[in-house]
Amino acid sequence: MSADDTAPRQPERSFGAIGRTVERADGRVKLAGQAEFTSDIRPPGMLCGAVLRSPVAHARVLTVDASAAEKLDGVVAVLTASDLADLDPFYGHALRDRPIVAIDRVRFAGEPVAVVAAESQAAADLALTRIDVEYDALPVAASLDAALAPGAPLVHEEPARPGSAHGLGRLPDRDGNICYHYGFERGDLERAFDGAAVVVAGEYTFPAVYQYSMETHTTIADYRADEIILWSSCQHPFLVRQEIAALFGYPLDRVQVIVPFLGGGFGSKSYTKMEPIAVAVSRKAGRPVRIRNGVDESMVTTRRHNMRCRMRTAASADGTLLGRAVDLWLDTGAYADNGPRVTATAGDAAPGPYRWQAVRVSADCVYTNTGPAGSYRAFGATHLQWIGESQVDEVARRLSLDRLDIRRRNLLRPGEEVRPGGKPLDADLVGDVEKAAAAIGWHQPRTTGRGRGVSVGLLAAGAHPVSTATVRLGADGGVTVLVGTTEAGQGARTVMAQIAAEVLGAPIDRVVVRGTDTRYTPYDRSTGASRSTTIAGLAVQRAAQAVLDDLIETASVLLEAPPGLLRLEEGAIRSGSRSVTHSEVVRTRFGFDGGELVGHGRVQPEGGTGSYAEGPVFWEVCVAGAEVEVDQETGVVRVLRTASVADVGRAINPQLVARQDEGATLQGIGNALFEEMRYTPDGLLLNDTLLDYRIPSFEDMPTTMACTIVENADGPGPFGAKGCGEGVLAAIPAAIVNALADAGVPMNVLPLTPERVWRRIQELRRGTKQEGT
Amino acid sequence: MTEQISAVINGKPFEGRVAANELLLDFLREELGLTGVKQSCEVEVCGTCTVLVDGAPVSSCCFLTCDIDGRRVETIEGLAGTAFHRSAVEAFMRHAAVQCGFCSAGMILTAKSLADRGIDPSPDQISRAMSGNLCRCTGYRSILDAVTEILREFGEGAPA
């Protein structure tokens, strides 16, 4: 990232807004029930939308007859494919493969076929039952096996088109149902395996998982003759703006995306989701329309990729890791969404953070007739870390080595290359994993039926390093920060306020960070990949610095002292016994009681294009430990203790860092132990409610959850910070799998349901060998 | 079909006709503008739509509006300004037990019902009693800590 500012003039200071716990900026309004989410907004004339979804996974759509629905009381418009004839109605982040509503063909059960806009939700819902659709069933490829089989039905037959902003360079041609391939080979793999004393090999299965942000995808669109206005629960408003502008033929500045508070995101609200449908139906109705998904609808809007993986790891007799070969297939569902990026990230996570003589990775992104898969917190790393780390543990077990020692011997050290040409390692992994082990009592005596595990990994973080920000210092000393980061619960507004307060010496309660409105908020690429504090935060820091420079210049005149002798205090600038407040400086500067100082900051790629291959911006550390107990009679696994390590460079707000880790820990427990979307062979989702798709509750909390914060000031963000919040989700399932193996039950399938664990225990008792391992 | 009901909502009398099949969640949000109550799972699992009916927590997504006839309904808006809510806010803020905030109102209302019932504020008891309120952000620890403090202050056996 390049600095667009000159060397900062930092006056001596006597306050501190970062590195300490300050109250969440948005906490009180949320606890009063007054925080505004998208579904709380009701622009005048707003209609309620409802989406008719395909009941089958793969079929030709012969006819869609909405005439009866259109005649119902309260129905204003019914959108079908025939309304899209004047558009190129395809969109998609990585591949432009998805129509706004199904055209001629449905590719997954739940695919939107028609959309009703009506005066009430009840009228819209009723109208769905009056739309007649005639389907002609096609053969279904509802699983990786089915989609990869010779002669498999093709989910897409048209030529592939690149998506709006994938950043993955030239995309390879589609090969059957494989829509993207990522792979690399380094070193002489054959030699590495030939020289090995031990080779661990296995085949592994990872489930489809639902992100479940409690606020389901919600969008209000108002299509007008001269502009499009959207209120949307989206993480990446500027990417949504770009895609909507392209779809409907509007300039960027005629598409306004407003993002209220998000009721969680976790990646599920990345990129474009329900926005094209909402805009299209508003265009037809001539009025604003709200689309609010049910949970069943959000589950088929996006999910985490299920995966099959084959991995082999070779090591020498002294425990030196030699080589690793990985083949993996990610099921991206019927539309690519972010699948190619997930595939590349999974491929990069596959070797793990070790020093290899040779490594080969082949990662395929596969279309199937299921709901599209996209981003979910720590994607790629969560898929691979439990596999790679279980093989490292197995190597240690076979060589009778301590599982920490084998990691000490092989882990990359700071400054070492992680992948050729990319960012070198910027973290102390050995120190991190030792902390996780210590926190779960690694050397304490073992109890029967219990086991302990640690895991360590890296997640390519930061996405594209493009952010801009504006900071305004008003005449009363108040500071407004305009930054495009979405507050999804992670605490972005609080952290951005702290960064601005730290630079300007403003009292923290006088800094306000607003939600994004693309009409006024300067560009920020996205809220994801743990990038906000690091990249958007750096833009805020630079914007605040520009204001400070201005402030100091005027204060220097007022105080008749050179800038170098001024001292920054909270809300004031001092020279010896004299001081002026920020407010006085602004008022004096403009001469009439008004005016404000405005500063801009930007972050952009240094040199190159900011593409995936040149990154990442930083390596997010994924380190955790877990202690589990397994009931031999029932197969129930209970997580007793967890320890996470937040290697964040500098914690702007330590309490919020700990909350990120705790939240990711519980999501990791859900991913590891019971979360799994299950489909029939025909591609119908079986568990599409929270009654049968269970997420962790209070009762799934471990007895202790330790979070250790590591601050080595080695991040590229403001004050040496780097992002956090995702890595733990990759590390916890891996630590749990390793702990369960330590308790005597090695597993190669997630989630670790009681039935699977119990069957495995029976196999082990009978002495049956686990398939592949 | 509509039914005539009379109820007390956040301390104020309500009289009027409501659709017989209308859900309390929709009535509160859409008719009364009480948007502090949130919709999520719609199957009585997640607890974001929790309101108190005669002091007991109910999932308003699965509760008919006409069934509040003759009863008292409290939402987060009604609780705001009470000593309990003030203390709850301070405890949640102290522990940073609010993140996206979508579950928070339901959490506080359920905690209120537990305080009124006087449950033993042990971690196991609270976890069991609160397991009908999901949170995907926090990992629950901070909410548990906050609720423990509130129950010590307001539950049975709390210093008068």
A670 Cβ contact partners less than 8 Å away, ≥ 6 residues apart: A209, A694, A695, A696, A700
Q: Search chain A and give the residue with CA nearest B38.
A: A215
Domain that holds residue A228: 42-140+211-299
Asked if the C-beta of B133 comes within 8 angstroms of chain A's C-beta atoms, the answer is: yes
Report d(CA B155, CA B117) in Å as an integer.
Answer: 7
- Terminus-to-terminus CA distance in chain A, angstroms? 44
For A291-350, the pLDDT digits (tens) are 999 999 999 999 999 999 999 999 999 999 999 999 999 999 999 999 999 999 999 999
Q: Give residue A610's pLDDT band: very low, low, confident or very high (50, 70, 90).
A: low
A560 flagged as catalytic: no
Residue A317: inside a domain: no
Q: Is pLDDT larger for residue A160 or for residue A44?
A: A44
Residue A62: inside a domain: yes
Cα torsion angle, A684, A689, A690, A692, sign? negative
**Does residue B137 carry a pLDDT above 70?**
yes
Report d(CA A189, CA A34) in Å as an integer.
Answer: 59
Asked if the C-beta of B92 comes within 8 angstroms of chain A's C-beta atoms, the answer is: yes
Report d(CA A395, CA A322) in Å as an integer.
Answer: 11
Please judge whether A27 and B80 are an interchain contact, meaning their C-beta atoms are less than 8 angstroms apart.
no
Please judge whether A32 and B89 are an interchain contact, meaning their C-beta atoms are less than 8 angstroms apart.
yes
Q: Token digits for A120?
A: 């009430």
Comparing CA positions, the residue from A177, A671, A94 lying closest to residue A345 is A94
For A251-294, the pLDDT digits (tens) are 999 999 999 999 999 999 999 999 999 999 999 999 999 999 99
CATH code of B81-154, in short, is: 1.10.150.120
Cβ atoms of residues B150 and B91 within 8 Å: yes
DSSP A478: -
Q: At which of A283, A299, A315 does a domain end?
A: A299
Please judge whether A263 and B133 are an interchain contact, meaning their C-beta atoms are less than 8 angstroms apart.
no
Comparing CA positions, the residue from A469, A505, A495 lying closest to residue A583 is A505
Residues A761 and A634 in one domain: yes
Average pLDDT over residues B41-59: 98
Q: At which of A269, A299, A329 does a domain end?
A: A299
**Does residue B121 carry a pLDDT above 70?**
yes
Comparing CA positions, the residue from A715, A417, A405, A365 lying closest to residue A538 is A715
User: For residue B154, what is the enclosing H or E element?
Assistant: helix B141-154
Residues A227 and A81 in one domain: yes
Cα torsion angle, A579, A583, A586, A588, sign? negative
% of chain A exceeding 70 in pLDDT = 96
Residue A682: inside a domain: yes
Give the burial class of A101: count Cβ atoms within 10 A of its Cβ; 0-12 exposed, 13-18 middle, 19 or more buried: buried
Question: Could you give the 3-state DSSP secondary structure of residue A161?
Answer: coil
Residue A559: inside a domain: yes
Of the candidates B98, B137, B141, the beta carbon closest to that of A31 is on B98
**Does residue B159 carry a pLDDT above 80?**
no
Q: Search chain B and give the residue with CA nearest A665.
A: B139
**Does residue A54 carry a pLDDT above 50?**
yes
Asked if the C-beta of A307 comes within 8 angstroms of chain B's C-beta atoms, the answer is: no
Considering chain B, tell me which residue range(s) the CATH 3.10.20.30 domain(s) occupy: 2-75
Residues A584 and A453 in one domain: no
Residue A126: inside a domain: yes
Check which CATH number belongs to the domain holding A481 and give it: 3.30.365.10
| Interface size, chain A vs chain B, as Cβ–Cβ contacts under 8 Å | 158
Residues A472 and A553 in one domain: yes
Asked if the C-beta of B86 comes within 8 angstroms of chain A's C-beta atoms, the answer is: no
Task: Report how far Cα A457 is from the mean position of its chain's Cα atoms.
Answer: 17
What is the predicted pLDDT for the residue at A5? Answer: 38
What's the total number of domains in chain A?
A: 3
Question: Could you give the 3-state DSSP secondary structure of residue A326?
Answer: strand
Number of Cβ within a 10 Å radius of residue A441: 14
Asked if the C-beta of B82 comes within 8 angstroms of chain A's C-beta atoms, the answer is: no
What is the predicted pLDDT for the residue at B157? Answer: 60
What is the predicted pLDDT for the residue at A2? Answer: 41
Q: Token digits for A119?
A: 């005066």
Asked if the C-beta of A20 comes within 8 angstroms of chain B's C-beta atoms, the answer is: no
| Neighbouring C-alpha atoms within 13 Å toward the C-beta of A120 | 11
Residues A512 and A582 in one domain: yes
Task: Report how far Cα A286 is from the mean position of its chain's Cα atoms.
Answer: 34
Report d(CA B79, CA A626) in Å as an integer.
Answer: 40
Contact list in A for residue B26 (CB cut-off 8 A) is 121
**Side chain identity at residue A308, one-letter code:** R
Average pLDDT over residues A595-624: 86
Radius of gyration in angstroms for the set of CA atoms belonging to chain B, rounded to a whole number: 16
Comparing CA positions, the residue from A131, A134, A170 lying closest to residue A50 is A131
Residue A379: inside a domain: no
Residues A55 and A84 in one domain: yes
Residues A643 and A707 in one domain: yes
Q: Residues 183..222 of A with a Cβ closer than 8 Å to B: which?
A: 212-216
Average pLDDT over residues A242-257: 98
Residues A628 and A488 in one domain: no
Check which CATH number belongs to the domain holding A86 and give it: 3.90.1170.50
Considering chain B, tell me which residue range(s) the CATH 1.10.150.120 domain(s) occupy: 81-154
What is the predicted pLDDT for the residue at A3? Answer: 37
Residue A178: inside a domain: no
Residues A572 and A713 in one domain: no
Q: Token digits for A478?
A: 């108040």
**Side chain identity at residue B35, one-letter code:** T
Q: Residues 110..169 of A with a Cβ closer than 8 Å to B: which?
A: 121
Residue A734: inside a domain: yes
Find tokens 């919600």 and name the residue.
A218
What is the predicted pLDDT for the residue at A608? Answer: 67
Q: At which of A299, A334, A355 does a domain end?
A: A299
Asked if the C-beta of B60 comes within 8 angstroms of chain A's C-beta atoms, the answer is: no
Number of Cβ within a 10 Å radius of residue A605: 16
Gap from B43 CA to chain A (nearest CA, Å)? 7
Catalytic one of A275, A627, A676, A726: A726
Average pLDDT of chain A is 95
Q: Which site among B32, B112, B134, B137 would you substitute to test the A interface, given the most A Cβ atoms closer than 10 Å to its Cβ?
A: B137
Average pLDDT over residues A460-471: 92
**Does residue A558 carry a pLDDT above 70?**
yes
Asked if the C-beta of B3 comes within 8 angstroms of chain A's C-beta atoms, the answer is: no
A586 Cβ contact partners less than 8 Å away, ≥ 6 residues apart: A473, A474, A475, A477, A551, A595, A596, A597
For A659-668, the pLDDT digits (tens) are 999 999 999 9
Contact list in A for residue B2 (CB cut-off 8 A) is none
Residues A664 and A743 in one domain: yes
User: With respect to CATH, is domain B2-75 assigned 3.40.50.920?
Assistant: no
For B60-80, the pLDDT digits (tens) are 999 999 999 999 999 999 999
Residues A743 and A666 in one domain: yes
Report d(CA A140, CA A368) in Å as an integer.
Answer: 8
The angle subtended at Cα A269 by Cα A268 and Cα A273, nearest 5°, is 105
DSSP A204: E
Q: Is the bond preceding A751 in cis, omega lying within 30 degrees of 0?
A: yes
User: For residue A33, what is the enclosing H or E element?
Assistant: none
**Does residue A13 carry a pLDDT above 80?**
no
Measured in degrees and rounded to the nearest 5, phi and psi for residue A24 equal: -60, 130
Cβ atoms of residues A455 and A734 within 8 Å: yes
Comparing CA positions, the residue from A529, A552, A489, A574 lying closest to residue A380 is A529
Buried b (16+ CB within 10 A) or exposed e, A513-535: bebbbbeebbbbbbbbbbbbbbb
Measured in degrees and rounded to the nearest 5, phi and psi for residue A80 equal: -135, 180
Q: What is the DSSP string of B81-123?
A: TSHHHHHHHHHHHHTT--SS-TTHHHHHHHHHHHHHHT----H
Find tokens 């025909």 and name the residue.
A682
What is the predicted pLDDT for the residue at A7? Answer: 40
Q: Give residue A167's pLDDT band: very low, low, confident or very high (50, 70, 90).
A: confident
Residues A724 and A670 in one domain: yes
Gap from B19 CA to chain A (nearest CA, Å)? 11
Cβ atoms of residues A387 and A279 within 8 Å: no
